[in-house]
Amino acid sequence: QISILCDTKTVSGQRGNTALIEAAREGNCDVVELLLKKRADPSDLNNRGDTALVLAAEEGHDDIVQLLSEEADPNTSVNNKKLYEAAKRGDSTGVQSALSQGANVNYQNPKERGDTALIEAARKGNCDVVELLLKKRADPSDLNNRGDTALIVAAREGNWDVVELLLKKGADPSKSNFTGHTALIEAAKEGHYDIVHLLLKNGADRNTAKNLDHKNVGMTCTCITSIIKHKN
């Protein structure tokens, strides 16, 4: 007999698989059933935007697919999509409504790079929505399929207010995406000088670009250096 002693939300590896997702992927039906009894959430997503059901279907584990299908709540999927779309258009009321109806605040949209509502709101510069999502415990450290955080996306797009808010709420400026780019590098590449300065003031490492193999790295380093000199 297996006893569950750990948090069912615990994730492992770069894929961000929960115990339920991993068990479903490996075809361990007894473990899946036990985790569901322990209230593991079948709507949880990994970093690629996959649920346990999706991976079980991909691997051909029909018994697990049937088990998870019986547990799935169709309303959750609908409300997750409503949450994402509301965040995208900057609709705070729509975000609040979707959350009140059971949407997962950290839902990752598999059709949109695995972006969460927070990442999409940060991309669009919807600062009010970003603030609301953070109050509702959206995780600023969540990654999309490219390894981008909300901070990296906001810095790339030049959304100063969102960058400032995320930093105040504890977003890590040293986080890099899967190509090794931090928020500082993305802001410098796009010429967002005020954001570069803001990130440097909040602990971003000015040397992060030095070891990257990228045609624009030299320009990026020069840009950061010139901004430092200008602001000083």
Share of the chain above pLDDT 70, in %: 81
Tens of pLDDT along the chain (232 residues)?
Answer: 444 444 555 555 557 889 999 999 999 999 999 998 888 888 788 887 778 887 887 788 888 887 887 676 666 678 888 999 999 999 999 999 999 888 889 888 877 888 999 999 999 999 999 999 999 999 999 999 899 999 999 999 999 999 999 999 999 999 999 988 999 999 988 989 899 999 999 988 877 655 454 545 445 555 555 555 555 5
Query: Which domains, ranges and CATH numbers included, belong to the chain?
Result: 11-71 (1.25.40.20), 74-231 (1.25.40.20)
Query: pLDDT by residue (tens digit) across 176-209?
Result: 999 889 999 999 889 898 999 999 999 888 776 5
Asked if residue 62 lies in contact with residue 24, where contact means CB atoms within 8 angstroms, the answer is no
The pTM (predicted TM-score) of the whole model is: 0.66
CB 58 within 8 A of CB 24: no
Contact 153, 185 (CB under 8 A): no
Alpha-carbon distance 210 to 213, whole Å?
Answer: 9
